[in-house]
Chains A and B, each alone.
Chain A
Amino acid sequence: MAALGQTSRPGGGRRLRTSTRIYTVVGLFALIASFPFLWAIVTMFKTDPDLYNAKNNPFLYNQPPTLGHIRLLFQQTPYLTFVRNTVVIGALVVLITLALSLPAAYALARLTGRWGGRIGVLIFLVYLIPPTLLFIPLSRMVASMRLQDSIWSLVVVYPTFTVPLSTWLLNGFFKSIPRDVEEQAQVDGYSRFQAFVRTVLPLALPGIFTVVVFAFTLTMHEFIYALAFVASSDHMTISVGVPTNLVRGDVFFWQSLMASAVIIAVPVALIYNFFLDRFVQGFTMGAVKG
C-alpha cells in the first residue's frame, strides 16, 4: 500500500513530498484503466497482414501503419449515420430534459415545503429503477405508439433517466442561490416568473450547462433501450450500432471497430473531465440536502 509521505514543517504549512509509491500506484491504475484504449489505438492503424499474423509482436508496427481502416469506417459503414442519429437524439433529449426539469427543480427549491422534499426524493429514486425491468413493457408501449425501430422511440424514453438526474442537480444549484435576490426583484416590480428569469437563471447558467453536458453524454452512453427498440441500422445510435452492426457476416473488422470506439471515447472523455468537478459538487450537494 502506498504511503502518502506527508511531512509537516513546524512553523510553516505542510509540504507534500510525493513518494514514488504514489506514482507507482496511480500509474498502475492508469495503465489498467486505459490499456484497452491504448491497445485499440495501436490496433486501428495496423494493416490486415500485420494484425492477423499471430507470430507478430502485437505491440509493434511490423508493417507501416495505415489510415485505410478509418477510411473504411467512414465510407463503407453506417458509422456516420450512427453519429448523426446520436447527435440528433442527444439534442432533442437535452431540450426535453431542460423543459421538464427546470420548472420541476425550481418548484422543489423554492415553492414547496416538506411534501416537495418527498417528491424530490421520489423523483431521484426513479433513477434507480433499472431499464432491464422496464424495457419489456416499454417495448410494447413503443410499439403501440408506432414508434418502434425509429429514433423517436429513444427520444421519448430517454428523458426517464435524464430528468431525475437533472432535476436533482438543478435543485441543488437553485438552492445555493440565496432567495434575497429573487425576492428583491419581486419587490422591485417583477412577477415571480420574471424575477426567476432575470435573476436566478443568469446565476444558474453553470448548472444548466452542466446538465446539458451530462444529459447529452448519458444519451450517448445508453445501450439497453437502444438495443431493445431499434433494429435497423439506419436508426441506430453509436452505442448500439458499433457492437452489433459493424460486423459483416461473421467477420469482425477489428481495426475499424477499434477506430469507431476510440474516435468517440477520447473527445467525450476530455469533455467529461472538464465538467467532473461540477457534477460531483452537484451529486454531493444533492446527497446532503436530499
Chain B
Amino acid sequence: MTTAAPPAPTATRERHRRYLFDREGILGSLLLLPSVAYLLALVGFPLVMALIYAFTNITTGNPVLHFVGLDTFRAALSDPVTRTSLRNTVVFTLISQAIVVVLSVVLAFALRANFRGKWIARFLILLPWTTPIALGTIAWLWMLDSIFSPIDWVLSHVGITSPNSHMFWLGRTHLAMGSVIAVQAWRMLPLATVILLAGLTSIPQDVREAAEIDGAGFWRRMFGIDIPLLLPISAVALLFGLVFSFTDMTVVFVLTRGGPQNATQVLASWAFFKGIEGGSLGEGAAVAVFMFPVLAGLAALILRMVSRAEVS
C-alpha cells in the first residue's frame, strides 16, 4: 500500500560547482594537503635521502652524490668506534629504560593518593622533563664536576670514600657510562610516571571495588588488577622511551661529548660528529642507518599496539 510518487515535470538541477567546498571528501583532502605535503617534503624526503647518502661518499666539501656501493658501510663497520657506539647505544637504551619502568611504577602508585603538598611534589618531580634537556644536563655537568662535585663532597664527608677524593664521574669509562645512563633515566622518568598515572586513574573504580568485595588484599589487587590493566599503556610508553633513547644524543653530547675516548659514544652522537662536525655526510648517514632496523621494528610494534587499542 505504498503511495506512488506523483508524476512531476522534469525538475531543475542546481549548479553544483559553487558548492564544491561543501563536499566532504574533497574538502577533507584539501585540508589535509598542506600538512601532508609539508611532512613529505621535510621528513619523508630526508628519510629517503638518509638511506641514499649511506651508499655514497658525499661530503660537505664535495656535495656530489657519487655512488660507491657498500664502501661507506664497510668503512663504518671496520671503524671500531662504530662498533663501540652500537654496543653503547644498546646498553644505554636498555638499562636506562629498565630503570625508568621500575621506578615509574613505584612513583605512579605512590602519587595515586591525594596528600598535602602534592602539587609541590609533582612540580619537583616533573622538573627534569619540563626543563629543556640541554639545560638540565648542564646542571648535572656541574654536579658531576671532577673537582667540585657536591656528591663527592658528601660521600667523602660521610666516610664512604676517603677524604677529598674525587670520583671523576665523567672521566672514568664505566662511571661515565653510568652517569650518562643515570641522567637519561632521570629525565625520562617524569613522563613515564605521568603516563602511568593517567592509566592508573582511568582504571574504573567499580572493577577495583568488585575485587575488594571478592576478598583481594592490597598486593593482590595491585598485581592482579592494576598492573595488568596498566600493561597496554605502559607498553606504549616503554616503546616510546626505547625509540627515543635509542636515537637521542643530547645527554651524551652535553655531558661527555662521547668521551672519555668514545666510551660513551652512541650511534646518534657518532653520526653527528662524523657527518655534521666532520663534514663526512656519507659516513655519518651510514652510521645513522644502523639505527634504522631497530627503529623500524619498534615502530611496527607501536603501530600494532595502537591499532589493537583502536579495535577494543
Measured between C-beta atoms, what is the minimum distance from B153 to chain A in Å?
5
B interface footprint on A256-275 (CB within 8 Å = 1, 0 otherwise): 01101100110011101100
Among B6-14, B66-74, B104-112, B171-179, the one that faces the other chain is B104-112
- Contacts of A19-55 to chain B: CB distance below 8 A: 22-23, 25-27, 29-37, 39-40, 43, 51-52, 54
CA distance A59 to B157 in the complex (A): 13
Asked if residues A132 and B198 are in contact (CB atoms below 8 Å), the reply is no
Are A33 and B150 within 8 A (Cβ)?
A: no
A contacts with B, residue count (CB < 8 A): 107
What residues of A have a CB within 8 angstroms of the CB of B113 in the complex?
4, 6, 16, 18, 22
Nearest B residue to A260 via CB reads B135
B contact patch SS: helix
Q: Which of B195-232 contact A (CB under 8 A)?
A: 195, 198-199, 202, 212, 218
Per-position 1/0 for A153-186, Cβ under 8 A of B: 0001101100110010000000000000000000
- Measured in the bound complex, the distance between the Cα atoms of B132 and A268 in whole Å is 9
Chain B: CB-nearest residue to A288: B309
- Chain B residues positioned under 8 Å from A239 (CB to CB): 132-135
Known: A1-B106, A111-B31, A134-B50. A287 touches B133 (CB 8 A): no
Counted as pairs of residues, one from A and one from B, with CB atoms less than 8 Å apart, the total is: 318
In the complex where A43-B142, A239-B132 touch, is A123 in contact with B28 (Cβ < 8 A)?
Answer: no
**How many B residues have CB within 8 A of the partner chain?**
109
A270 to B218, CA, bound (A): 35
User: Do B115 and A22 have beta carbons less than 8 Å apart?
Assistant: yes
Note all chain A residues with C-beta closer than 8 A to B194: 276, 280
Check: A74 CB closer than 8 A to any chain B CB.
no
Residue numbers of A with Cβ under 8 A of B are: 1-4, 6, 8, 16, 18, 22-23, 25-27, 29-37, 39-40, 43, 51-52, 54, 57-59, 99-101, 103-104, 106-108, 110-112, 116-117, 119, 121, 123, 125-126, 128-141, 143, 156-157, 159-160, 163-164, 167, 191-193, 217, 220-221, 223-224, 227-228, 238-240, 242-243, 254, 257-258, 260-261, 264-265, 268-270, 272-273, 276, 280-281, 283-284, 287-290
